[in-house]
Amino acid sequence: MEFSDELECGDEGLLSPPHTHQRTILHLDADCFYAQVEMVRQPELRDKPLGIKQKNLVVTCNYVARSQGVKKCMWLKEAMEVLPELVLVDGSDLTHYRRFSTQISGVAQSLTHRVERLGLDENFIDVTDLVDEYMNATGSSDIEGHVFGDKEPVSMDLVDPCGCGCRERLVAGSLVAKQLREQILKETGITVCAARSIPGIGSTTFSVLKDLGISTVQELQDVPLKLLRTKFDSETCSRLKEVSNGIDETSVKKSGKAQSVGLEDAFTKVNSVAEVKVKYQILLERLLKLLREDGRVPVSIRVSVRKFDLAKRFGHRETRQTSISSSLFPDGVNNVGENTRSSLMKTVMGLFQKMVDTSKDFHLTLVGVAFNKLIERVRKGKDISSFFGKRTREETTETYKYTTDNECKRLCVPLSPEKSSDGHESIREFEQINMDKLNDKSLLTSEPLDPILELESTDCRRVDNNTEDSDLVLKGIDPEVFRSLPEEIKQEVLKTHACPDRKSLTQTPSTSPVKTSNQAGVISIEKSGTIESNGSGHSGSKQLWAPR
């Protein structure tokens, strides 16, 4: 949005909503999230003052406790002095909170895929498509009264699957805004928001704005660009104007699965290797549980510490990470054995030793461990890459025993001159034949010398499997299996075994095509993988057959 210097102070044009409704983004924030989760798990706590503690802090509390003086992030001792009846629940283990957070995001994702998660209890939801669809369906483009559209159909589907009370209604209109403003003024005495409360305006920027006499959002909206440009560049000036008027073109980014999962433990002081090892062991066990719920395999592990400088009274964080072998998780992450646990713990302590000189005194206030670069586990069995390797066939003279219909279908498959992935015709795998062994005697024999390759002649008569000669024709083949074959396969087998002048070729090396003669005609072995039989009034291109 462009802002002009010619706009007068207080110009309502900046405060008016845009003429065209381009995007609709919801910000879903689950209030006192940890407390709500515990109230869902233990309904008897709903009407009691409830606080969630982590270490020595009450990190959040329900509204019953807030109404009696307890505040968020209050020291535990102070909270108990304010309200001795406060019910405390340990919130150190975030497992349940993560599960509920996923459920809340899942509800949003059931409406649209444009959901961006912010921590455990917040989500940005881009519902522009849903609003456009609703507007087109109702044929309305204007705000009706002070409630947008007919909300009854929506309220019918308004459910609370998580039990956390996360429900939304869209309202618009100056009257509603005025009523809300008056109610806030009555209850809190707040009339305007400080510019510091705008996301993106930090302490440094706010300090510069105060030098210009700007301390509220209203003042930032009204200030001319010319005055802002005395302290900021043009891009920053435009950005300040946009955020003060609630304009943000940032797109909602679809949140996928987290790329890492980690845990940290903060404390007042740890100064021995034994204590550190215990801390890391506890974190690692909890982390493996989270990893099991996630189902993915980590590629690397990260270890962190926070060192406390007594002289400066200040702590600084340091982190090291290294890759870990996938062989540590041969069966996935569901059942991690003791060897894997021991190896991971050794890696963790090794990284710790690189960050902390244990030969000297040290003071730590935090340790953490995380798994990074989580990937889906490769399932056992063939994957698609196995079909792109160069295929080879073993030479054999063993007679194949047909056992089932499916096996017969796999074995009796004609070779075709289709290109394989390595650029060679698959039928060429059988083209090399040792012509030293190809003599007249082998051509006239009644039994095949090699079941891999057989010649199919055009003068073979068709034999029905119900004739009296079938036992002789089907010599060496299981009749029961033969009867279960498809009809076309039966005919091919009959033609091959019933032909009195059937020719057989051995699968032996040859480097060039050769022609040889006999009483049945001339047999030509071609590089293309087919065998042509000409003579005695018969001609045609024949198909080679082989087990796959």
- Residues 283, 265 contacting (CB under 8 angstroms): yes
CATH number listed for the domain at residues 260-372? 3.30.1490.100
> Residue 394: exposed, middle, or buried by beta-carbon count in 10 A (0-12, 13-18, 19+)?
exposed
Percent of the chain with pLDDT over 70: 56
Distances (CA, A) of 494 to 17, 401, 479, 483, 498: 84, 17, 12, 12, 6
CA–CA separation, 1 and 242 (whole Å): 7
Q: Could you tell me the strand order of the sheet in which 364-372 lies?
A: 260-270, 364-372, 300-309, 314-323
In this predicted structure, the answer to whether residue 336 has a pLDDT above a threshold of 60 is yes
User: With contact defined as beta carbons under 8 Å apart, do 249 and 205 qualify?
Assistant: no
Identity of the highest mean pLDDT range in 188-197, 217-226, 344-353, 450-459: 344-353
Catalytic machinery residues: 122
What average pLDDT does this structure show over 318-343? Answer: 85
> Confidence band (pLDDT; 50, 70, 90) for 445?
very low
Higher local confidence (pLDDT), 468 or 159: 159
Q: What is the pLDDT of residue 58?
A: 92
pLDDT for residue 404: 40
Query: Percent of the chain scored above 90 by pLDDT?
Result: 16
Report the sign of the C-alpha dihedral through residues 141, 145, 147, 150, in that order: negative
pLDDT in tens, 227-271: 888 988 888 888 888 877 777 777 777 777 777 888 888 888 888
Please enumerate in sequence order all residues whose Cβ is within 8 A of that of 159, keeping only pairs 6 or more positions apart, or say none.
none
Comparing 114 with 423, the larger pLDDT belongs to 114
Q: Collapsing DSSP states into helix, strand and coil, what is residue 439?
A: coil
Residue 44 has pLDDT above 90, yes or no: yes
- Give pLDDT, residue 225: 87
Segment 73-90 mean pLDDT: 93
Neighbours of 184 (CB within 10 A): 13
**Rounded distance, CA 391 to CA 414, Å?**
17
Question: Which is nearest to 459 in space by CA: 518, 516, 534?
Answer: 534
- CA distances to 262, 279, 345 from 370, rounded to whole Å, are 4, 14, 12
Contact 75, 59 (CB under 8 A): no
Q: Report the length, in residues, of the chain.
A: 548
Of 512, 518, 544, 523, the C-alpha closest to 433 is: 512
Most confident of the following: 118-127, 152-161, 356-365, 526-535: 356-365
- The per-residue pLDDT for 430 is 34
- DSSP letters spanning 74-90: EEHHHHHHH-TT-EEEE
Which tokens sit at 475? 């010599």
* Residue 304 pLDDT: 93
- CA dist., res. 496 & res. 161, Å (int): 68
pLDDT score of 102 more than 90: no
| Greater pLDDT, 332 or 356 | 356
Residue written as tokens 């289709």? 418
**pLDDT score of 193:** 62
Write out the H or E segment, with its range, that includes residue 546. strand 545-546
**Average pLDDT of 91-113?**
83
pLDDT computed for residue 66 by the predictor: 93
543 or 142: which carries more pLDDT confidence? 142
Q: What is the mean pLDDT of residues 455-467?
A: 40
Q: Residue 269 has which token pair?
A: 């002081």
Residue bearing the bigger pLDDT, 489 or 339: 339
The angle, 0 to 180 degrees and rounded to 10, between the axes of the packed helices 33-41 and 95-109 is: 100
Q: Which residues contact 300 (CB under 8 A, 6 or more apart)?
A: 321, 322, 323, 324, 371, 372, 373
* CA-angle at 356, arms to 354 and 362, nearest 5°: 170
> What's the confidence (pLDDT) of residue 141?
52
As a whole number of angstroms, the distance between CA 346 and CA 200 comes to 42
- Select the highest-mean-pLDDT range: 57-61, 408-412, 465-469: 57-61
Identify which of 166-170, 277-281, 540-544 has the greatest average pLDDT: 277-281
Looking at per-residue pLDDT, the higher value among 206 and 478 belongs to: 206
Strands 87-90 and 50-54: parallel
Between 492 and 519, whose confidence is greater? 492
Please say if the pLDDT value at position 60 is more than 90: yes
Query: Where exactly are the structural domains of the chain?
Result: 260-372, 405-546
Mean pLDDT of 116-138: 80
Q: Is 534 helix (H, G, I), strand (E, B) or coil?
A: strand
Q: Please check the confidence at residue 544 and state whether its pLDDT lies above 50.
A: no
Q: How do residues 380-406 score in pLDDT, each as one tens digit? A: 555 554 444 444 333 333 333 333 444
Q: Which of 240, 255, 226 is nearest to 198 (CA)?
A: 240
Q: What is the pLDDT of residues 293-323, one digit of tens each?
A: 888 888 899 999 998 887 777 778 899 999 9
Decide if pLDDT at 48 tops 80: yes
CA proximity to 154, closest of 174, 137, 178: 137
Sign, Cα dihedral of 441, 447, 450, 453: positive
Judge whether residue 10 has pLDDT over 50.
Answer: no
pLDDT tens-digit series, residues 170-197: 443 444 455 555 655 565 555 556 666 6
pLDDT of residue 424: 38
Q: What is the pLDDT of residues 493-542, one digit of tens each?
A: 777 665 444 444 334 444 444 444 444 433 334 433 433 434 444 444 43
Burial of 548 (0-12, 13-18, 19+ CB in 10 A): exposed
Query: Tell me, what DSSP letter sits at residue 32?
Result: T
How far is Cα 467 from Cα 465, in angstroms, rounded to an integer? 6
Quickly list H helices, 356-439. Answer: 405-411
Residue 68 confidence (pLDDT): 92
Q: What is the pLDDT of residues 200-238, one digit of tens each?
A: 677 788 888 888 888 887 888 888 888 888 988 888 888
pLDDT reported for residue 516: 42
Q: Tokens in use for 127?
A: 């519902």
Which segment, 57-61, 147-151, 519-523, is predicted with the most confidence on average?
57-61
Element (H, E) at 211: helix 203-211
